[in-house]
Amino acid sequence: MDDASTAGEAIGRDRTVAVVGTGTMGQGIAQVALVAGHPVRLHDSAPGRAAEAVAAIGARLDRLVEKGRMSAADREAAAGRLHAAADLAELADAALVVEAIVEDLAVKKRLFADLEKVVADDALLATNTSSLSVTAIAGGLRLPGRFVGLHFFNPAPLLPLVEVVRGFASDETAATRAYETVKAWGKTPVRCADTPGFIVNRIARPFYAEAFRVYEESGLDPATIDAVLRESGGFRMGPFELTDLIGQDVNEAVTRSVWESFFHDPKFTPSLAQRRLVESGRLGRKTGHGWFSYADGAERPEPRTAPPAKAPERITVRGDLGPAEPLVGLFEEAGIKVRRKRGDGFVELPGGAKLSLVDGETSFEYHREDIVSFDLAFDYAAATRIALSAREDIDPDVLAEAVGLFQALGKKVSLVGDLPGMIVARTVAMLADLAADAVGRGVASAEDIDTAMRLGVNYPAGPLEWAAKAGHRRLATVLDDMDTRYPGARYTPSLALMRLGYAEAAQEDR
């Protein structure tokens, strides 16, 4: 499609970029290409929409000038390069055409079949689809090799991530040229094979699904689950408040689409509670009610927080606490006397109870011992909340010792019941499992997956980076334990994660 001298290069700034579809995403993509210096043509099948989009983009450029982010001269030059196209034929000289229309496979296929009759054979064709198969959209094309996915995130002018998706028939040269082009536009592209959900929408499913499952099985309230994932897990927003912002119907539809595309794989099973929310019309902020109420004067529920308790004066740390080892220094800084002894990695409280980092087991299985589990944290020093889990009949005084210990560090404490995997640990383990599996299947590189999850959904770290920090073996064990207690393959650790765990063990044994 390209000659050898240009095959891997970004499309020249003097070449026209066309965008078909003038909704929010189409306008955003057009603005990105325009500000990067390209002539841009906008087309929409609805009469007058393209001209309206040109005016809207011009108004946004005016605001950039007002904020000092663009000079008046650059604004006038950009406006001179932006044109509405009433007919597809006006896109004939485009070097790249990006489609951002309705998520309907048949409609998209018709559009690209028509575009192939108009543009030159060396023009790149791209879809911004987030849920459909890039391969399927290109299936009927005469030259499917020049077709790729360019999945921008909304709002496109602000968010840096672009998933560059190579369909089954896409040429490597086309994917590389698309990658280099969006990189030249100042974006951060990541390469991805054509798989359901691509990177972000595939890997992110457990962030929502595990929180909803905790809610369904334990009755723990959304405000507390959100608080634990924010204040201990380091996530920017909790899954309940985030899906209220996204729209429950939108989020549930993506989850259902990925689940169906993976032939009902139990790892992607949608939430019945979320389905009922959608059926009731409680779609989140846009309807005034979702998991939370957004009516005027409505107050957000407070997370469950344990009352003040007295901290023990001394504790015994037996063995290494793994990813929770930084707690030892924090305990000492808080004035708690710490004695180190050999052991299997737990804190022995004065009353004889064991305080241990969460696994995938339940506390009631240890009915002869007082066991209190604490959840995983992204950064134990920075965390402002810690979740604790124990069986219902545990001695209140024993539980109070554990609560007081963490409160002495300035942490709020949430008691979450006897919950295998708790909240943060099971979420991170599932994210890591899907990420490792995606690398193993050649969907994307580990670096691109971590980059995509940091930039696309603002995770505090990429799931594979976090897995290395928490320990692959530990996370695989959490899932293996949960798989025993929740039969059905949802929590069966992938071979890819298990391999990472075994490699980790071999490295430690050297």
**Which residues carry out catalysis?**
130, 151, 163, 201
Neighbours of 454 (CB within 10 A): 17
**Distance, C-alpha 310 to centroid of its chain:** 39
DSSP conformational letter for 494? P
Please name the residue ranges forming H helices in 262-348.
272-279, 326-333
Q: Which candidate, 244, 247, 210, places its Cα nearest to that of 229?
A: 210
Edge-first strand order for the sheet with 346-348 is: 337-341, 314-318, 346-348, 354-357, 371-374, 385-389, 412-415
Edge-first strand order for the sheet with 188-193 is: 82-85, 40-43, 16-20, 94-99, 124-127, 147-152, 161-166, 188-193
434/208 Cα distance (integer angstroms): 14
Token readout for 354 is 């064991």
Tell me which H or E stretch contains 113.
Answer: helix 105-116
432/448 Cα distance (integer angstroms): 14
**Residues near 217 by beta carbon (within 8 Å), at least 6 away in sequence:** none
How many degrees, rounded to 5, is the angle at CA 58 between CA 116 and CA 123? 20
